[in-house]
Chains A and B, each alone.
Chain A
Amino acid sequence: GDSVTQMEGPVTLSEEAFLTINCTYTATGYPSLFWYVQYPGEGLQLLLKATKADDKGSNKGFEATYRKETTSFHLEKGSVQVSDSAVYFCALSIPNSGNEKLTFGTGTRLTIIP
């Protein structure tokens, strides 16, 4: 079945450090790929997405590129801030599958220290 594997956490970085959170996937079809973020005490928010190979999703300084050859969608940010502290989830869905569900990774908790 479809699955998402993402970097184990927790991850702790200093402010202004470079961030990479790895995500790889296994899918039977041609998935759309997502990064969601969950701030403390809140539900999930869509951070960015990409729907086809070589697409780059970006938002709030975060970027991820859909790499079909390596089945990856790694999340990056050049200079993190304390406000980026949250749990990050990589996810996929298969368009037109009749199921429409999101398959999530286990989440990566990120803590940024001043």
Chain B
Amino acid sequence: DVKVTQSSRYLVKRTGEKVFLECVQDMDHENMFWYRQDPGLGLRLIYFSYDVKMKEKGDIPEGYSVSREKKERFSLILESASTNQTSMYLCAIKRDLNSGTQYFGPGTRLLVL
């Protein structure tokens, strides 16, 4: 079974803080993704990575950056958190190169005060 873990289930941060969300996979999968989930908007792609030190912007990258120094770990960084970044953040990996199927972590619910 594919296992995707996220460092926190719930986080509360203050406006202006730097926030790190971490995602770890237990297999040697290359493609990793960060989405945010908001009511009425579904999931939107923030960034993805197809290999170590490689990253691509998704649909809503503004206000975020990412880091992938090791294959198993993909970090999402909020350089200066704002209240409009309050959301559920979901990490996913893509296992099969010939299939679009992605496997998701449990999510991190972030509240920015």
Contacts and interface: CB of A to CB of B under 8 A. Distances in A.
A106 B40 contact: yes
Contact of B48 (A42, A43, A46, A100): A100
Contacts of A44: 43, 90, 92, 104
Contacts of B31: 100
Interface in A33-74: 34, 36, 42-46, 49, 51
A106 B43 CA distance: 7
Interface of B: 4, 31, 33, 40-45, 48, 50, 56, 58-59, 90, 92, 94, 98-107
11 contacts: A43-B90, A43-B105, A49-B101, A89-B42, A94-B100, A95-B98, A101-B45, A102-B100, A104-B44, A105-B42, A106-B42
